[in-house]
Amino acid sequence: MMKLDGLVAFTAITEAGSISAAARRLGFAKSVVSERLAELERTLGTRLIQRTTRKLTLTEDGHTFLPRAQQILYQAREAAAEMAQRRGTLAGPLRVSGPVGFGILHLGPALNHFLRDHPDIDLTLELDDGFVDAAASGFDAVIRHGPVGDTRLVAKRLATTRRVLVASPAYLAEKGRPATLAELAGHCGILYANRDADWRFAGADGWTVLRPRAALRVNNGLVMRDAALARLGITLLPTFFVHEQLASGALVEVAIGLEAEGAELFLAYPRDRSASTKIAALTASLRRSFGDPPYWDRA
């Protein structure tokens, strides 16, 4: 008979990329996870994962079986959550991914409020500034800043955000304060490495794009903010990274007469899974915590 703990081991190994990483995620010894996978393969009569000294890869049967295994586990979790809901509580595991900087500054505190309201939920939050494939990585939900173009996902808007050009007063005193796009082009930019290295601004005649000379490229907004504080150049950041520094005067907004391209925050979940009560509750809780307009833009 097929056991759920074998399905858990198989999906965790696939999502984590190794037996060791899966064991750490599940809180078991590596030998336990390995044996559960082996028992599942014996039950099915086929090899699901090809093991080599360097890496693990899914076999053809493993690729076929993985989405079924994920769906079985999802349905089992939702059944347990539904029973808990009947008792007036939300319970069970919930695995969420979010970007690092936003997670530290805003998502983490908002999730604390959510967990105080729903203490029986077993929440796992993984922060990653790279692209996270929610449909393939086993996350119940991912937080995205920007458009969600993956048709496998359902996206729920959490908040609208603004991007602003900022720099330290000391940098502007030394290098000059640009007032036009042409003047801005002569300055050093601190750029986000995970998107096109350009800045987009809305004007009367449509979008204008500037590709500044890079003083630094990095895939983390907190590092970009700190580089601006260190007088390395001008950067374009969402206000949720810099609202406190703008309020204190440690950073100042650089106005060039054009509005920078904004973005939206979304919670997205795999389309092949119905919106669970836990996801609906999480979405509502995050919207309340961030506000409309969000608290980082109210000043």
The pLDDT assigned to 203 comes to: 77
Highest mean pLDDT among 14-23, 193-202, 218-227: 218-227
Residue 196 clears pLDDT 70, i.e. is over it: no
Tell me the three-class secondary structure of the chain, residue by residue.
CCCHHHHHHHHHHHHHCCHHHHHHHHCCCHHHHHHHHHHHHHHHCCCCEEECCCCEEECHHHHHHHHHHHHHHHHHHHHHHHHHHHCCCCCEEEEEEECHHHHHHHHHHHHHHHHHHCCCEEEEEEECCCCCCHHHHCCCEEEEECCCCCCCEEEEEEEEECEEEEECHHHHHHHCCCCCHHHHCCCEEEEECCCCCCEEEEECCEEEEECCEEEEEECCHHHHHHHHHCCCCEEEEEHHHHHHHHHHCCCEECCCCCEECCEEEEEEEECCCCCCHHHHHHHHHHHHHHCCCCHHHCC
Domain count across the chain: 3
pLDDT classification of 116: cutoffs 50, 70, 90: very high
- Rounded CA separation 293/24 (Å): 39
Q: Of the candidates 45, 69, 88, which is a domain's last residue? A: 88
- Which residues does residue 98 pair with via DSSP β-bridges, in sequence order? 127
Is residue 172 predicted with pLDDT exceeding 90? yes
What does pLDDT average to over the chain? 88
User: Which of 73, 88, 103 is the last residue in one of the domains?
Assistant: 88
Yes or no: say if 219 and 193 are a contact pair by the CB < 8 Å rule. Answer: yes
CATH at 284: 3.40.190.10
What is the pLDDT, as a whole number, of residue 275?
Answer: 62
Residues 157 and 271 occupy one common structural domain: yes
Lowest mean pLDDT among 94-103, 204-213, 216-225, 243-252: 204-213
Same domain (yes/no): 28, 71: yes
φ and ψ at 255, to 5 degrees?
-95, 125
Q: Residue 99 has what pLDDT?
A: 93
271/135: higher pLDDT: 271
Helix axes 30-44 and 4-16, enclosed angle (nearest 10) = 110
- Give the Cα separation of 233 and 139 in Å (integer): 37
**0.85 exceeded by the pTM?**
no
Are residues 201 and 283 part of one domain?
no
Percent of the chain with pLDDT over 90: 48
Residue 278: domain span: 91-161+265-299
CA 11 – CA 46 distance, rounded (Å): 16
Confidence (pLDDT) at 6: 86
Q: Is there a single domain that holds both residue 101 and residue 221?
A: no
The answer to whether residues 147 and 169 belong to one domain is no
Q: Is the pLDDT of residue 297 over 70?
A: yes
Domain end point (choices 28, 63, 88): 88
- Looking at the fold, whether 205 and 65 belong to one and the same domain comes out as no
Mean pLDDT of 193-210: 82
Same domain membership, residue 248 and residue 238? yes
Residue 170 has pLDDT above 80, yes or no: yes
Question: In the prediction, which pLDDT does 236 show?
Answer: 96
**Is 44 in contact with 20 (CB distance < 8 Å)?**
no
For β-strands 213-218 and 153-161, DSSP reports them as: unpaired
Out of 66-75, 245-254, 285-294, which region has the weakest mean confidence (pLDDT)?
66-75
Shared-domain flag, residues 157 and 287 = yes
pLDDT class for 299, splitting at 50, 70, 90? low
Cβ count within 10 A of residue 99: 23
Q: What percent of the chain has pLDDT over 70?
A: 94
Q: Which residue has the higher pLDDT, 19 or 80?
A: 19
- Do 210 and 274 lie in one domain? The reply is no
CATH of the domain at 257: 3.40.190.290
pLDDT at 89 over 80: no
Residue count of the chain: 299
Per-residue model confidence (pLDDT) at position 45:
87
Q: Which amino acid is at 31?
A: S
Give the orientation angle of helix 108-117 with respect to helix 277-290, to 10 degrees: 130
Question: 19 with 81, same domain?
Answer: yes
Q: Does 216 lie in the same domain as 188?
A: yes
Residue of 90, 84, 91, 97 lying closest to 138 (CA atoms): 97
Q: What is the pLDDT of residues 239-283, one digit of tens each?
A: 999 999 999 999 999 999 999 988 899 999 988 766 678 899 999
Q: What is the pLDDT of residues 32-69, one digit of tens each?
A: 888 888 888 888 889 989 877 677 888 988 888 888 88
What CA–CA distance (Å, rounded) separates 267 from 99?
Answer: 12
pLDDT for 85 beyond 70: no
| Domain co-membership, 286 together with 210 | no
Residue 12 reports pLDDT greater than 90: no
Mean pLDDT of 175-195: 91
* Residue 191 pLDDT > 70: yes
pLDDT the model gives residue 152: 81
